[in-house]
Every structure is written in structure tokens, then in C-alpha cells.
Structure 1
């Protein structure tokens, strides 16, 4: 980890913080983090990939940490998030790359694969599957399905509400996300807040040290959760702006990883079944006894699967 360098670049009207490791002439690979994480969530993958000869690029995504955190909700739609990475690849002169994403980073990675079919040669996504453009905005569907019960994505929609809860105690918020994934599956009334009924956080999970947690806390210390939550507030705009991608398949060789205890697997069960229709060159792996924070919870297994997949070509 001592060989990691930080670069701050101007792209797409913002400053993007990018952490870089590995041999300068190595094959470029980009690692895109999700919510509520940061570049440090790839701490176990960076040295493994660098040791395998890859040049590793790990951005702090828009709205997080030392990268810019614009105020407007529309500044966080998926095509804008993709443009951040596209222009960053331009900045570093990347003609061909491997793209990796977890959680919301996977959403960006899926769309980048559609937008950049020549530049992105291989795709690895974790936790969030893909089945093409929905027939209508996902938020409309969620509001109908959860009209009388709690759903965290619906809860995140009203600006200022979730921020007040999550920003009140950043360390507690992060520890609850890390330790209590059942929060997302509990049946509650529609007017609940995210942490209603949550127990005080217990000991940190084995995969997150006190020093690791400090990096996460510092990520949200300056700007809070407003920027990251704005990613969730663009489902309708994403649907409108992505019409030109309707019907396109992800044709790159793709590895998809998910934990068998990941709540996303419950929410996205139908999408998981349909994914091969939209991703014909797909390899899927379900990791046993693993939750949502897959690249940390089972780092060695994830590293082995990633390197094995990339070693085939």
C-alpha cells in the first residue's frame, strides 16, 4: 500500500481524486467504489492487481472525499458519472482498459461498457447485476411496490431527510451499514427512517480495522452524505437520458460476483435471472457466506477470481 500515489485531475467540470499503483507500463484497470464507501474499499485488491502487473486506477467518485461534490441533484446522473471516468481515461491516455465496479460503481461500470465497447475490453462487476434499460423509471416501480412499507431507496429520494439522519453521527452510520445488512430487509412502515430500531453498533467486522474505518469516516467528514445520496435521486433522469442505450447488450467478457447473503440478491432476484440475455459473454460466481461488502469480506477469493478471469485472455 506504500506504493500508492494520489493524483487530482480536472475532468468534466470537477476535480477528481485518483489513486494509482502498479507498474507504469502495466495494463490499466479501473476500480469504481460504491455507496457508502471510498477508494479505500479496494485496499485488498490494489496490491494484488499491482503485483500481477496491472496499472491500477482507483477514483474517489464524484461526491466523495477529496473529489468535488457539486450541489445539484442533476450533477449525479449516470451519464455524468460515466463522463467523469471517460474523461479521466482520456487524461491518462488509456486506449484499452479493464473496468471493475462494486455497488453503484457497478452501475457506472455497466453503463461504461455500453458506452465504450472498444476501450473497455473486460468487465468485472460486484453485487449489482444488469438486465438492460427498464421499461419505465425504477423509482416509479419502487414507489408502487413499497407504497405501504419502508424501502431505503424511496426514503433517500427527499433531499435533506436522509442526510440529516446519516450525517448526525458519521461513524455510527458507517458501522451500521457495515454490520447490519438486515436493516435493508426488515419490514417496517413507510414512514420509518433508515435506522429505526437499530441496535448500537457492535465490534467492527473482521475485515475492517479501526484504521480502515477512520479512512471511511474522513471520506464523509467534509461534505457528508448529500453528494452520494444524490446518486439515488436520478433514477428518472437516468432513464430519460439512457433511451439511446435501450436494447444494447454488454458484449465484453464479463465476470459477475455476488455474496449469497447480499440483500441486493433478494431485491434483484429477477434481474439476476435475466442478466444473461443482456450480457451474453457472462461468467457468474456466488460466494458462500458472504454479504454485500464482498471485496473486503472475502478479499482473497475475490482476488483469485478476478485474476483467474483476467488471466484467460
Structure 2
């Protein structure tokens, strides 16, 4: 696996890549508070199957650029980073996979640039319209999303999150994933990323931007791209009903649930996720 910087104008994206140069292109997007290593189990499997795999540290993470303005983390800007990777790869269509914030960006890319996708795979994040609607109407979901509101406080999250060697992050990942899903090596890699100057503010700015300026698609809410939603049922942050409601927005899609998995599905069920991705890509070649 090699690393390069791919540029969207002044925004540099630290990107791991693997697989043959002539393979169909797969882009894997991580979420909060992780990094490229979310996909450490899937990368070699996809590359060995003949896919050309790109795995960025999303803007604000790792050694990717960390713009100062909150508005720079709006999903309208984030999908431009994905398109920059597609253009770097020199292809018309890609297979796009996202988890957590990466999934939200993937949803938004599919809504706005469907002509550039061969397939879409979403892990444990509902369609944007479902998430926003549920957050407004459901007191239970508001409680589950308490951290979103905490992150709106100026400067305080950046000061408190690093406390006690990033205990907040380590505790959440351990408590809300299956036992053994995160190794000591995983935490060492994550802490290396969390310690990078400016990382905390950039990571929190995703949530600040989302609350200050909610996205609106000019092309409607329906997803035309062949889409699969993979969902760990023991997600303590997002309800299973949100996954089921998201199916209504898919013109050509499916939902697969995992009763004994959590929000961190790629870690809990690495082999099953890899298998489902390969099946989906094969059914919808680029």
C-alpha cells in the first residue's frame, strides 16, 4: 500500500492506495473519530480481488489539510474532495463506500453526482433526510446525539477531548463496539492521528458546519445509484428504524442488518463487510 497527496485546489488529501492500476476504482471514506485505518481489513481483500482502492484521510484528519473556516467542512465542499480522487484516478465512475461521516458524504455525493457512481455502499448512517427528520422529531434520537450539541460550544470540545490521552474517544470506541474489535494497534494508529495539531478542531467542525447550514439537494432525495445499506443493529447512536426508513429513498437498493454488530461494523464484521462489498461491486461494474 502506498500513500500520496491528492489535491482539490488548495486542499490536500493524504490518501492510501492499493491494487492494480487497471482495476475498477473504489473509494473508502471513514468517519468520526477514526481515520483511513477504519478500512484496514477491507483494503487488502479488495485490492487482491483486482480493485484499485483509494482510502483518504478526510479533510481535517491525519496529514490532510485542515482549513480554518467552519464552512469549509460543509458536505458541499466535502464531496469535491471525493470528486478530486475520482479525477486523479482518471475514471468516469467509482464504487463509493462510507461509514459514519464518510457515509454522510457518500450519500450526498450520490444525491448530487449520481452519474459518477457505479455503486454506493453505506455503513450505519441513514439517508440525510431521514437523519434530519428523526433528529427534529425524536427526543430519543436527540439524546443519542447529545455530543452533536456539545460540539457546538466554541473552543471547549477542542480543549477537553485530548484529556487523559483522549479518554473520551477511547472509551466510546471500546464501550460501543464488540469486544476485541479494536486492537492495541488500532488505538495507537488513531491516537497518532488525534495528536496532530489542529485535528480536534477540524474533526469537530464537521458537526458545527452541519448544524449551521443544513444541506439541500437540487436533485431531490431519491438515490438512483445501486445502493446497499449495511447496518449493525447494536448501534447506540442511531436507531435501526432509521436504516429501514432510508430504504424508501432507494430506487435500486437493499438493507442488510447484522444483529450482533454495532455502529463500528467494518471492525465487528470485517469478513462479512468485505464479502458484501465484493458482491455489490461485481453486480454493478464501473
1:1-313 equivalences under 5 Å are 4-130=1-127, 132=129, 141=136, 151-181=146-176, 205-222=179-196, 223-239=198-214, 241-245=215-219, 247-266=220-239, 269=241, 271-313=242-284
| Contact kept? 1:7, 1:17, Cα under 8 Å | yes
The 1-side partners of 2:137 and 2:156 are apart by 18
Deviation digits for residues 169-223 of structure 1 (CA, Å, limit 9, x no counterpart): 34423321211239xxxxxxxxxxxxxxxxxxxxx94222222211111111113
| Contact kept? 2:151, 2:157, Cα under 8 Å | yes
Q: How far is the alpha carbon of 1:307 from its aligned partner?
A: 1.4
The 1-side partners of 2:143 and 2:123 are apart by 30
The 2-side partners of 1:272 and 1:48 are apart by 26
The 2-side partners of 1:277 and 1:143 are apart by 19
The 1-side partners of 2:230 and 2:279 are apart by 13
Determine which structure has the larger helix proportion and give its number: 2
Unaligned 5+ runs, structure 2: none
Q: How far is the alpha carbon of 1:311 from its aligned partner?
A: 2.4
Q: Compare CA radii of gyration and give the structure with the larger one.
A: 1
Unaligned 5+ runs, structure 1: 183-203
| Contact kept? 1:74, 1:234, Cα under 8 Å | yes
Q: Evaluate the alpha carbon distance shift between residue 155 and residue 297 of structure 1 in structure 2; reply closer, same or farther with a 3 A threshold.
A: same
Q: How far is the alpha carbon of 1:62 from its aligned partner?
A: 0.6
Q: Evaluate the alpha carbon distance shift between residue 169 and residue 48 of structure 1 in structure 2; reply closer, same or farther with a 3 A threshold.
A: same
The 2-side partners of 1:278 and 1:41 are apart by 27
Alignment: residue pair count: 283
Q: How far is the alpha carbon of 1:155 from its aligned partner?
A: 1.1
| Contact kept? 1:170, 1:221, Cα under 8 Å | no
Deviation digits for residues 76-129 of structure 1 (CA, Å, limit 9, x no counterpart): 011111111112221221211000000000000001111221111100000001
The 1-side partners of 2:233 and 2:130 are apart by 25
Deviation digits for residues 247-280 of structure 1 (CA, Å, limit 9, x no counterpart): 33111111101111012432x63x3332222112
Range 148-157 or range 34-43, more displaced: 148-157
What is the Cα-based RMSD across aligned positions, in Å? 2.6
